[in-house]
Structure 1
Amino acid sequence: MPQLLALTLLSIVLVCVGGCWTIPQRHVSDVGAAIPAEWGANREISRPAPQHWVETFDDPNLSALVQSALANNYDLKAAATRLDAAIAQARIDGSGLFPQIFFTSDHQQVQVREAGFGSARFGVFDAIFSLSWELDVWGRIRDVRQAALLEAGAVASDLNGARLSLAARIAQSYFELTEARLQSEVAEQSVKDRRTIVQLVRGRFARGITNALDLRLALTDLATAEAELSEARNQIQLINRRLEVLLGRYPAGRLTEASTLPEPPSGLPSGLPSELLERRPDLVAAFDRLVAADSRVQSAKKLLLPRIVLTAAGGTRSTALTDLVDPRALAWNVVIGMMQPLFTGGRIRGEIQLNEARAEEALNLYKSTALNAFREVEQVLAADEWLREQEKALRQAVEQTEASRKLAVYSYQLGMIEILTLLDSYRSTLNAQSAHISVKRQLLNNRINLFLALGGGV
């Protein structure tokens, strides 16, 4: 005991000489910029984002696909194994807090030769216990364990982010597949309309009312429409197979899509900017890694302090196996010692500088991640307004082009317009219908991007 007391007093003196280190007090709001009270692109009363945002689209088929992907996607399963590995690493890093006890047993055959006395052979049995335990007086090992636990928490946040991202990709691909089907239907109708034009022009050509050029132009336009239909059908199978891979299924191209694109969920949830810092998985992960880096800096600095280690060993050795359990044959020793680094060639100082640089890197990465998160929310909120105006304008364009197309057919039959004007009216109708379908899908994608940017749950 006097020796242990002397070692402890000496260590306290060394701590006082070396100085006292404290971990920086971090806060999630330290993002390098002022956080506004509300989103600049959304002047409405902020509402929190729903926890189960997939259900807000009111599509049971979509909800089933998302749940299937969360259960079967292989990239997500790989992310889950990374979490298992991080938890195991935290257990490894924290194991130094506990005594390390080992048991060794062996048997040796020994032969002794002596001149004039012959030789003797006998067996020796060993049963040895050993113990090693570093007393974590300064909390160095606890700092390492805390860092590992925070890093495991960051990996868990990464997993939540992967789940959210996968759900968003499934929903966007699902609506993209529906759009491709609708675009294919528009292209099919366009082919039918072009065939009607060809029949009209061919009839007029047979009666000598029009020339061969008009017929050639109509046939060219029909061929172009047929090519566009083939491209639309190809898009269906491409998106279908890509979605099946996300679901963890063989890409057979057998998924069914919705018949129409739904309206975006009512209301525009956004919450408050400050809530984003504790809600988005990537921000939570970045902050945990920052605090973990701080803990590793502290642990590296404490390598300069003395380490107090308790070691013990004991066991028995006998030529008879039954004697190993005889307590009278037990021998043991216990040693407590202190190791103070004096010269390590700059290794400890280098490790401190390395961890300080990593902590500074983690701080800047956190600030960058936070600012990008705010940007994503702001631009998605702003895009919603412009996309709605675009959808309204395209809806009116579809109505106008359909009316002008009917008028163009009537005018061509009366010989009031050229074939190019007629064909242009059909192309305008096709382009307006296609653009209108596309912007409706973009509205849905933008809403999904909002849920993704806000870090909603699934």
Structure 2
Amino acid sequence: MRRGQLCLLSVGIGISLAACSATAPEARIDSELEFAPSIWSARKEANTPVDHDWVKSFGDASLSKLVNEALTKNPDMTVAAERLVRAQIAANVAGAGGRPEVTLGASGNKQELGGMGFGRPESYGVDLNVGWEPDIWGRYRKEQSAAIADAQASQQQYRAARSSLAAQVCKAWFALAESNQQVKLAEEALKTYESTQSSIQDRFERDMQAEGGSASQLRLSQTDVATAKAELSARKSDREMAQRQLELIVGRYPAGKEQGKVKLPKVPKQVPAGLPSELLLRRPDIISAERQYAAAGARVREAELAVYPSFRLTGSSGFSSSELGNVINSDMGVWSLGIGVTQYLFSGGRILGEINSRRSVDREAAAQLHRTVLQGFAEVEQALAMEKWLAQRERDINEAFELAAEASQAAEDDFRDGNGDVLTLFLAQNRKIVLNTQVVSIRRLRLNNRVDLHLALGGGFYIK
């Protein structure tokens, strides 16, 4: 084939491809923006900016390192990444119907008319065929535009998966830290009960019933010791489970070797609420739902454009010769051009049915977006409300623990001096120990809720 013909064909293909290029559909979230309140109902204070590096806000470099490891090794992230890859490929392939199709063919024919005494006619050829349906009405561009929106939705779903995994790592890290503290508290409780048992044992052996020593009191102290041992075993079991769970989330073999921190970090003071309207432009699941709604709208228009006539342009160019060696150099060029027009006159309701079906999908996508927006607002409001009440609970429990600690110390002093009864000592010690474990538990609840708040607000994080 002559070089000039190839160049001319290449230019034509380039022009047609440029004509079929598509862009993402416009945003369809205006009605939801009007729905957003001006302030959060659960937070009356001034709105502080959303934290865009919330993992590091907990002040633990080891936690940031684990989040980074999870994002690299967790199998769920590989699954999410591959889904995004397929969505991007689909966006690139979509709209192919409006692009030229080029095929290169070769043929050869050799025939012998046996018994007739005739010769052997031979024919060889090479040809290049081009078919193209120009996207005059933009139907294929709408198809590709919808696929681009799908890819954008998948990208937001991938982002949401990353944030969700980071939150899981944080919560598992806090659970392990709490377990470490609870084991330590259980060990301290066992020592306290053993010390009390030893004092009662000494008093009982000296037969000082008048001062409070009795067999029942000794048995009660022994029961407390046995119960404390069982509690310590349970706490150690919980810690091992927390270790394995964290390792599994990170993507390691769950060997139970991750030690974690010895105690929980402090809850960051700043509550990054931001503005309600910003939530719709930041939270990945809302953006994903909006992109799916935009894709549905583009597909409705694609179906509506199917009623317009379609044009099909065809062309071919090649060479033929009776000698195989002369095909490429032959001057016997063969070419053809053709055009076809197709207009649906009657399709048995298929086109109208497809339009109505896609309109139904569009309405469903709008409802899904509205539901996602409402759910997003609800999660933020709930997390903000929990932030307030959990903080109040922590203050109250800390106050109760301090009082219980003072009561326990006073009961121990009175018992040691021979002025107090042993039942008061048992009660005071038990209250102190129980409240001490609650102080740790409420701290983890507050940390977990802060993670939920960051997720609900769509806050980002940067991990090196």
Q: TM-score, normalised by structure 2?
A: 0.88
**CA shift digits 1:23-42 (9 cap, x unpaired):** 99864242397321111112
1:7 aligns to what?
none
- Whether the 8 Å contact between 2:320 and 2:330 is mirrored in structure 1 is no
The separation in 2 between residues aligned to 1:193 and 1:285, in whole angstroms, is 56
Whole-angstrom distance in 1 between the partners of 2:106 and 2:215: 102
Report the 3-state secondary structure (helix = DSSP H, G, I; strand = E; otherwise coil) of the residue aligned with 1:101.
Answer: strand
Distance 1:427 1:321, change over 3 A: farther
Quote the residue 1:37 is aligned against.
38
For residue 288 of structure 1, the aligned residue among 287, 291, 294 is 291
3-state DSSP class of the match of 1:189?
helix
| Separation in 1, partners of 2:80, 2:122 | 53
Cα offset, 1:170, TM superposition: 1.2
Matched, 1:202 2:201: yes
- One-letter amino acid of the structure 1 residue matched with residue 133 of structure 2: E
Match for residue 281 of structure 2?
278
Amino acid at match of 1:250: Y
Match of 2:307 in 1: 304
Change (3 A) 1:84 1:420: same
SS in 1 for 2:351: helix
| Matching of residues 285-364 of structure 1 within 5 Å | 285-364=288-367
1:320–1:367 Cα change, 3 Å: same
One-letter amino acid of the counterpart of residue 195, structure 1:
E
Give the 3 Å change call, closer, same or farther, for CA 116–450 of structure 1 in structure 2. closer
Quote the Cα distance in structure 2 between the aligned partners of 1:117 and 1:26: 76
Instruction: Sort the Cα spacing of 1:420 and 1:345 in 2 relative to 1 into closer, same or farther, 3 A.
Output: farther
Among 407, 412, 419, the residue aligned to 1:409: 412
- More deviation, 94-103/361-370: 94-103
Partner amino acid, structure 2, of 1:153: Q
Q: Report the secondary structure of 2:319's partner residue.
A: strand
Match of 1:452 among 452, 455, 460: 455
What residue is the counterpart of 1:428 in the other structure? 431
Question: Is 1:113 the counterpart of 2:113 in the alignment?
Answer: yes
For residues 125 and 245 of structure 2, what CA distance do their matches in structure 1 show? 63
Local SS of the residue matching 1:38 = coil
Structure 1 contact 46–272 (Cα < 8 Å) conserved = yes
Which residues of 2 match residues 172-251 of structure 1 at below 5 A? 172-209=171-208, 210-251=213-254
Letter in 1 for 2:181: L
Contact 1:173-1:243 at 8 Å conserved across structures: yes
Structure 1 unaligned regions, length at least 5: 1-22
Q: Structure 2: 5+ residue runs without aligned partners?
A: 1-23
Give the drift of 1:66: 1.5
Residues 391 and 439, structure 1, Cα contact 8 Å, conserved in 2: yes
Q: CA shift at 1:194, angstroms?
A: 1.5
Aligned-pair identity in percent equals 35
How far apart, CA to CA, are the structure 2 residues paired with 1:242 and 1:321?
A: 71
User: Is the 2:28–2:294 contact (alpha carbons within 8 Å) kept by the matching residues of 1?
Assistant: no
The answer for the alignment partner of 1:96 in structure 2 is 97
Distance 1:114-1:426 versus aligned 2 partners, 3 A rule: same
Contact kept, 8 Å, 1:29 with 1:274, in 2: the verdict is no
Displacement after TM superposition at 1:413 (Å): 4.8
Q: Counterpart of 1:443?
A: 446
Compute the displacement of 1:253 (Å).
Answer: 1.8
Q: Deviations over 1:214-240 (max 9, x none)?
A: 222222222221111111111112111
Is contact 1:323-1:329 (8 Å) kept?
A: no
Q: CA deviation at 1:260?
A: 2.6
Deviation string 1:178-209 (CA, Å, 9 cap, x unpaired) is: 11111111111111112112222222232233
The SS at the match of 2:94 is helix
CA contact (8 A) 2:81 2:158 kept: yes
- TM-superposed CA distance for 1:324, in Å, is 1.8
Q: Structure 2 vs 1, CA of residues 421 and 34 (structure 1 numbering), >3 Å: closer, same or farther?
A: same
Asked whether the equivalents of residues 31 and 371 of structure 1 are also in contact (C-alpha less than 8 Å), the reply is: no
Q: Give the match for residue 69 of structure 2.
A: 68
Match of 1:5 in 2: none
Distance 2:410 2:77 in 1: 55
Alpha carbon RMSD of aligned pairs, Å? 2.3
**1:78 maps to what in 2?**
79
Higher mean alpha-carbon deviation, 126-135 vs 386-395, is at 126-135
Quote the offset at 1:280 in angstroms.
Answer: 0.3
Over 3 Å counting, the alpha-carbon distance change for 1:274 and 1:313 in structure 2 is same
Which amino acid is the alignment partner of residue 117 of structure 1?
Answer: G
Runs of 4+ in 1 over 6 A off after TM superposition: none
Once the two structures are overlaid, the 10-residue window that deviates more, 315-324 or 67-76, is 315-324
SS of alignment partner, residue 335 of structure 1: strand
How far apart are the structure 2 equivalents of 1:24 and 1:158?
A: 18
Give a deviation string over 1:410-444, Cα, whole Å, max 9, x none.
44456666554433322211210111111111111
Work out the CA distance in 2 between the residues paired with 1:351 and 1:420: 80
Name the count of aligned residue pairs: 434
Residue by residue over 1:55-89, the C-alpha shift from the partner in whole angstroms, topping out at 9 and shown as x without a partner, is 22221111111122222222112111111111100
Q: Which one-letter code corresponds to 2:164 in the other structure?
A: S
Distance 1:63 1:106 in 2: 64
In the alignment, the residues of structure 1 paired with residue 194 and residue 319 of structure 2 have an alpha-carbon distance, to the nearest angstrom, of 100
Aligned residue for 1:105, secondary structure, equals: strand
Residues 379-388 or 410-419, more deviating: 410-419
The one-letter code sitting in structure 2 at the alignment partner of 1:177 is: L
User: For the Cα contact (< 8 Å) 1:41–1:381, is it kept in 2?
Assistant: yes
What is the letter of the counterpart of residue 113 of structure 1? Answer: L
8 Å contact from structure 2 (residues 200, 217) kept in 1? yes
Distance 1:72 1:183 in 2: 30
Please give the alpha-carbon distance, in whole angstroms, between the structure 1 residues aligned to 2:95 and 2:398: 63
SS where residue 41 of structure 2 aligns? coil
Q: Secondary structure, in 3 states, of the residue corresponding to 1:311?
A: strand
Q: Give the match for residue 151 of structure 1.
A: 150
Task: Please report how far the alpha carbon of residue 391 of structure 1 lies from its aligned counterpart in structure 2 after TM superposition.
Answer: 0.7
CA gap 1:362/1:116 in 2 versus in 1, 3 angstroms: closer
Cα displacement string for residues 124-160 of structure 1 (whole angstroms, at most 9, x for unaligned residues): 5442322111111110000001000011001111111
Q: CA separation in 2, counterparts of 1:234 and 1:390?
A: 27
